[in-house]
Structure 1
Amino acid sequence: MSRSKEEKRNRILQAAISVFARKGFFHAKISEIAQEAGVADGTIYLYFKNKDHLLISIFEEKMEMIIGRMRASLVGAGDPVEKLRRFMLTYAELVIEDPELSHVFQVELRQSGTFMKHYKPVKLQEFLNILAEIVREGQQAGRFKPEIAPGVVKRAVFGALDEIALNWILKERRYDLRESARQLGEMFVDGLGIGTPVTA
């Protein structure tokens, strides 16, 4: 894809995020997305099959960015406890930094039957596996309870973060999401059973 086509595609994706966040996935029209992007209606279909394809493309491409940001935030945090805390805070910061994208992820993705029923979110699993890696590292270091399955923890942590983020969005950002994420992090740190680090 040429640079100009890639730029136009990215402009359409960003326009779709804005329109989906403002109008809702069901009520958004391709013509409105085209107008927001400054392109003809038919141009949208040169890049995307339909609204569902647009929504899935937003998810895949933005998740790539989110995964990169999350991994970068953990660099330098040698202790798995600190990594878990950083994961929580970074998640909250990502939500706060881009409210429109957060609205699309937290609210509008759930409105797409295609996404919910048929799409296999490989990128989401990659994101969740960062949590599983932190838990395994903590177990190997003797910081987290060894009997707790990393797969259970990653889903529990993500479910809790997802809930507070959704509530923050629906309540129009009326409270400190970072503080909520910090408190949630401490709950999971305590629940995983932090002990004295194992020494060689």
Structure 2
Amino acid sequence: MAQSGTYPAGDLGNPRRAQILDAAERLLHHYGHAKTTVAEIAREAGISVGSVYLEFEAKDAIWVELSHRRHEAVLGAMRGAANAPKKLYAHRLQAALVARTRAFLALAERGAHAAELVHCHACPAIREAKEIYHRREREIIAELLQAGEDAGEFVIKDASATAATLLQAFVAFVPPLLFGRAPDELEREVTALHQLLVHGLCRAEPRSRS
């Protein structure tokens, strides 16, 4: 099990490795990780089974790298929104959370089993990748919150703890709970929850009750 908070880089310049990953992902989208064999991946890639094992020590190593790839796409969408220039940090936070929802929904559109790459309790390799993703996701939100604090827009004591709490509040908008729901409805709910959490229910100086 990887203990680092970063994804394994893999050999991105290796054409055969990329060929195997692309073939495996196509098969997984249609049949799922459990029903896809190394022999089928080799056949889809047009290479021998032995060639697959020269690049990956086991089938799970293929799934974990594909899971990292898809999780990185989600993180990239969040970073892009979080780093948007000339925007209030509250607006960046909302945009990052909406971008995350859109990225997960886009993945689900790739095939009947495509979402397994970001949510599959039955596959330890994918669970491992998901744990790393959650750490990196929390870091992105914590950095955004801290920047907002530094700019005088937020009042936060512990950016990391606040990020963890905030993400827990948005758990309904990540796999598997968001799948099967209308994208427009999800975005409205993300925006509404963001407004509630950022602006709160109280006045800046609550009135005392007599």
Question: Given the two structures, how large is their TM-score scaled by the length of structure 2?
Answer: 0.70
Q: Aligned runs of 1:140-179 on 2, under 5 Å? A: 140-147=150-157, 149-165=158-174, 166-169=176-179, 171=180, 173-176=181-184, 177-179=186-188
| Separation of aligned partners in 1, 2:203 and 2:62 | 43
| Separation of aligned partners in 2, 1:25 and 1:68 | 24
Q: Which runs of 5+ in 2 are unaligned?
A: 1-10, 205-210
User: Is the partner of 2:138 in helix, strand or coil?
Assistant: helix
Q: Aligned runs of 1:113-192 on 2, under 5 Å? A: 113-114=124-125, 116=127, 122=132, 124-147=134-157, 149-165=158-174, 166-169=176-179, 171=180, 173-176=181-184, 177-191=186-200
Higher helix share: 1
Question: Structure 1 residues 138 and 35, CA, compared in 2 at 3 Å: closer, same or farther?
Answer: same
Counterpart for residue 79 of structure 1: 88
1:88 is aligned to 2:100: no
Question: Structure 1 residues 175 and 76, CA, compared in 2 at 3 Å: closer, same or farther?
Answer: closer
Counterpart for residue 46 of structure 2: 38
1:98 is aligned to 2:113: no
| Separation of aligned partners in 2, 1:38 and 1:161 | 43
Structure having the higher Rg? 2
Quick one: percent identity of the two aligned structures? 21
1:57 is aligned to 2:65: yes
Q: Tell me by how many angstroms 1:136 deviates.
A: 1.2
| Separation of aligned partners in 2, 1:123 and 1:168 | 17
Native 8 Å contact 2:71 2:130 kept in 1? no
Question: Given the two structures, how large is their TM-score scaled by the length of structure 1?
Answer: 0.73
Native 8 Å contact 1:25 1:111 kept in 2? no
Question: Structure 1 residues 120 and 96, CA, compared in 2 at 3 Å: closer, same or farther?
Answer: closer
Question: Structure 1 residues 31 and 156, CA, compared in 2 at 3 Å: closer, same or farther?
Answer: farther
Deviations 1:83-123 (A, max 9, x none): 10110111122123222496034322x3223554x779555
Q: Which runs of 5+ in 1 are unaligned?
A: 196-200
Question: Structure 1 residues 56 and 160, CA, compared in 2 at 3 Å: closer, same or farther?
Answer: farther
Question: Structure 1 residues 77 and 167, CA, compared in 2 at 3 Å: closer, same or farther?
Answer: farther
Native 8 Å contact 2:23 2:41 kept in 1? yes
Native 8 Å contact 2:149 2:155 kept in 1? yes
Native 8 Å contact 2:71 2:118 kept in 1? no
1:48 is aligned to 2:61: no
